[in-house]
Amino acid sequence: MTASSFGRRRLLTGTLVAATVPLAVACSRDDAESVQFQSPNVTDTPAARNVRDFGATGDGTTDDTEAIARAFEGITQASAVYLPGGTYRVTAWPAMADYATVYGDGADVTTVLYEQNGTLIDLRGRQRVNFRRMGFFTTGATSTCFSLSACFRCSFDSVTIRGNHSSSTFPQYENQRGVLLTDNTGGTTFTNCDINNYGIGLTSECIQNYVTASKFTSNRVGVLGTGGDFNAGMAFTNVEFVSDNDPDTTDRHVRVDGPANDWWFTNVWFEGSEVALSIGTRETGGPSQFGMVNCKISARTTCVELLYCRQPYLANIIFDPDPNSRPAELVIDAEHVPTGTAVNLISGVNDDVNSAVFPDAWTVIGRGTMSGPTFTSTVVTRTVQDDVDLLQARDGSDAVTAAVLSDGTWLSDRREAGVVLKDESDAYWRLVVGTDGTLSTESLGTDRPR
């Protein structure tokens, strides 16, 4: 260690000590005699209850239900329960207190096996319950792994939640559920998690919850937003939705089937489904805001169908087909999704997404093209060189019909595209120039030219 680095370390240590002095003084007041809350240190095994100390074996054969229940007995406040590597076969799960942490040695090392129907872990009115570094495997045909009702800021970190659904078992496990969020459960986070092989991987009926750096694999429906709650919503960041190409495996990766609040997808990958995302229904409604940014979407029949939502925003998305398919990239219901914004959408089959799929009131910005915008202030154009037109009007064959030249001159390249004026009686007249340069007028009647 150099002298300079030693000096920096000593200075930093001194600063930290000085910074803690006011805190120590504040905690030494006479009125602070009650025991202060201390979060469990889950990295230090002696600070947690080890289920092996209560008789659990983790051998995958022995019923560890009662042993794990004993590990939770008497816990009424923040605590940690540790499950060392192994497979813990259970028929039920004990009640958990607020701030409880349950953790193992890894999502593929510590596994809880539930072979019953019903719900394995049912949290009601809990807050900040945390599951870390462990896996859950449910095999009952109508089982649910997790149900959170009226819970606040619970979290799943490096957790695998797995069921039995696949193309070979369909439809036997179509009613298996991975995670169910209901009754205003909010702030739930899934980080570095895997939810695989369920009839429905994650169901949300409630306020904003979050998924990041996670993966949904081979679920019949990956995520279902349901319940008709106008406050319901979810946000997904850096997430994968993947499956095989068998139509019996995955029908839809994401389905929102009624009124909701915000649904957002950022840096998300979709592949292997009939329809990647189905948003809203014509009968019941859809989200008030829906957005996708920096996503890659492929499917067999439809990449994205927007059936009912307000303010959809799509940006920097590439649409691709699944193998041996040619899906519709966007299906938009013009009546229930009349307006929206699309920026830089790229087709894996064509150069750009066909502009005809967008309703007239959408604002669409492509590679060198823009359609549907309404300007509410002064529009300014500047040329970069003298011989470049400021503005051009083109017909369906891309031929120029009129232009504003770099010096401000208005030019019509077609006789029928010349200046049209309306007289005092609301009749329309076109200005016509003869071959000798003389001007005359041509009556167009009282119908506004189109």
Per-residue pLDDT tens for 266-297? 999 999 999 999 999 999 999 999 999 999 99
Q: Which residues contact 422 (CB under 8 A, 6 or more apart)?
A: 428, 429
Arithmetic mean of pLDDT over the chain: 87
Residue 18 placed within a domain: no
User: Are residues 345 and 431 located together in one domain of the fold?
Assistant: no
| pLDDT computed for residue 351 by the predictor | 64
- Do 407 and 343 belong together in one domain? no
Q: How confident is the model at residue 410 (pLDDT cuts 50, 70, 90)?
A: confident
Q: Give the span between the Cα atoms of 82 and 110, in whole angstroms.
A: 10
- For residue 179, the model assigns a pLDDT of 98
Confidence of residue 368 (pLDDT cuts 50, 70, 90): low
Residues 310 and 428 in one domain: no
Residue 411 domain flag: yes
List, in order, residues 6 or more apart from 104 with CB less than 8 Å away: 82, 83, 84, 85, 110, 132, 133, 134, 135
User: Is 41 a member of any domain?
Assistant: no
Q: Is residue 81 part of a domain?
A: yes
Quote the pLDDT of residue 169.
Answer: 97
Report the domain count for the chain. 2
Q: Which of 121, 101, 100 minimizes the C-alpha distance to 112? A: 121
Boundary of a domain, candidates 343, 371, 399: 371
Does 405 lie in the same domain as 329?
no
Do 285 and 395 belong to one domain?
no
Residue whose C-alpha is closest to residue 38's, from 74, 79, 81: 79
Do 51 and 172 fall into the same domain? Answer: yes
- State the CATH number of the domain containing residue 196: 2.160.20.10
In a domain, 278, yes or no: yes
Q: How confident is residue 373, by pLDDT bands cut at 50, 70 and 90?
A: low
Do residues 153 and 58 both lie within one domain? yes
pLDDT at 414: 81
Mean pLDDT on 213-222: 98
Interval 361-376 mean pLDDT: 76
Domain that holds residue 337: 47-371
Q: What is the mean pLDDT of residues 331-336?
A: 96
Is the pTM value of this prediction over 0.75?
A: yes
What percent of the chain stands above pLDDT 90?
A: 63
Which of the listed residues 371, 406, 434 is the one where a domain comes to its end? 371
- DSSP per residue over 86-121, as a string? EEEEES------TT-EEEES-TTTEEEEE-SSEEEE
Of the pLDDT bands very low, low, confident and very high (cuts 50, 70, 90), residue 350 is low
- Flag whether 34 is in a domain: no
- 361 plus 431 within the same structural domain: no
Same domain, 246 and 100: yes
Check whether residue 325 and residue 405 sit in a common domain.
no
* Same-domain pairing of 418 and 302: no
| In-domain check, residue 226 | yes
* Least confident piece of the model among 33-37, 55-59, 246-250, 287-291: 33-37
Q: How confident is the model at residue 230 (pLDDT cuts 50, 70, 90)?
A: confident
Question: Does one domain contain both 395 and 365?
Answer: no
Query: Is residue 45 predicted with pLDDT exceeding 80?
Result: no
pLDDT confidence bin for 349, thresholds 50/70/90? low
